[in-house]
């Protein structure tokens, strides 16, 4: 089975749109999302425009705040402070990567945890790892929703995650632990990657290496979630060699059209949750 991330994301957006429409009628208020974009790094520009377009489509008041590459850290911090205090702003997102003069940690820490739609603030990271209510990073949240579409109960499943980034691998591990999976996280220093992956009932690849996972790395009838987005010539491919793996897996996400659309849908979901919590 090929997991249709576009279709799942459209269902989520539809639900959000209806909820926002009724919030507007009941309370005459809608969620607001402020996205800070620094510089003109082409992929960031595409991501941010996509986020804005999707936000507007579901009725979120979205704004992009743009700065040139030479902006100071102080100016960004003061903008974040202003957005933290603004009642019409439910969520704040600072698009990464940042220019060298700006300290990513300081910026993430400055966003109010209740407005941290990316789920990167240490309070949200800590809440997630403690098993408490947290704002969860959008990509792993999207992956979990796709996995749960295939398998309702994940209890006792062996999940293997390739990659240990704060953005993907680590929160994915926390989410799957919460679902009572046995979780193995592998990375660039892992001794025998293939052997570890072969044990996975659920394999999540969040690496950034084109077609790394081959057919003989995966267990028959496993669920394969491919987070990777890699350019190969003029094509976009994932971290999983889709053609060779798709007939062995029970279910697999394609690239593009798998995890990507879910990431944006989960950003909208997080923005709505932040609005409601505030």
Catalytic residues: 51, 95, 118
Q: Which is nearer to ligand NAP, 60 or 207 (CB)?
A: 207
6-14, 73-81, 108-116, 162-170 -> range binding ligand NAP (CB under 6 A): 162-170
**Per rule CB under 6 A, is residue 189 in the interface with ligand NAP?**
yes
Residues numbered 242-261 forming contacts with ligand NAP, rule: CB under 6 A: 259-260
| Residues paired with 36 in a beta bridge | 65, 94
For the chain, where are the alpha helices, taking DSSP H only?
5-27, 42-58, 73-85, 104-110, 122-130, 138-150, 169-178, 193-197, 242-245, 259-277
Contact 251, 231 (CB under 8 A): no
Size of the site for ligand NAP (CB under 6 A): 23
Provide, rounded to whole angstroms, the least separation between the CB of residue 5 and ligand NAP.
9
User: Who's near 121: CB < 8 A, 6+ residues apart?
Assistant: 108, 109, 111, 113, 135
**Per rule CB under 6 A, is residue 5 in the interface with ligand NAP?**
no
Q: Which helix (H) or strand (E) holds 239?
A: none
Position among 7, 104, 187, 214 found at the interface with ligand NAP (CB under 6 A) = 187
CA distances from 81 to 84, 89, 153, 171, 263 (A): 5, 12, 42, 26, 26
| Interatomic CA distance for residues 249 and 200, integer angstroms | 11
21-29, 66-74, 160-168, 176-184 -> range binding ligand NAP (CB under 6 A): 160-168
Binding mask 91-120 toward ligand NAP (x if CB under 6 A, else -) reads: ------------------------------
User: Which residues of this chain interact with ligand NAP, rule CB under 6 A?
Assistant: 139, 162-165, 167-169, 187-189, 193, 206-209, 227-230, 259-260, 263
């Amino acid at each position: 089975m090929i997991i249709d991330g576009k279709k799942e994301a459209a269902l989520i957006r539809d639900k959000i749109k209806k909820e926002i429409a009724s919030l507007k009628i009941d309370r005459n208020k809608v969620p607001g999302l402020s996205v800070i974009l620094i510089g003109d790094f082409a992929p960031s520009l595409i991501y941010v425009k996509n986020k804005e377009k999707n936000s507007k489509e579901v009725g979120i008041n979205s704004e992009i705040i743009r700065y040139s590459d030479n902006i100071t850290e102080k100016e960004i911090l003061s903008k974040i402070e202003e957005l933290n205090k603004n009642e019409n702003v439910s969520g704040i997102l600072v698009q990464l990567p940042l220019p060298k003069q700006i300290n990513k940690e300081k910026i993430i820490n400055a966003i109010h945890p209740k407005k941290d739609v990316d789920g990167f603030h240490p309070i949200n990271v800590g809440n997630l790892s403690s098993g408490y209510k947290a704002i969860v990073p959008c990509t792993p949240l999207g992956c979990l929703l796709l996995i749960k579409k295939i398998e309702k109960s994940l209890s006792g499943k062996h999940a293997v995650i390739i990659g240990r980034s704060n953005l993907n691998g680590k929160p994915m591990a926390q989410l799957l632990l919460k679902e009572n999976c046995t979780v193995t996280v592998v990375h660039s220093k892992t001794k025998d990657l293939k052997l570890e992956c072969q044990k996975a009932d659920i394999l999540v690849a969040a690496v950034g290496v084109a077609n790394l996972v081959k057919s003989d790395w995966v267990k028959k009838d496993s669920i394969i979630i491919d987070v990777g987005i890699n350019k190969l010539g003029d094509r976009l491919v994932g971290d999983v060699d889709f053609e060779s793996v798709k007939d062995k897996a029970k279910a697999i996400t394609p690239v593009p059209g798998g995890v990507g659309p879910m990431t944006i849908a989960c950003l909208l979901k997080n923005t709505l949750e932040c609005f409601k919590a505030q």
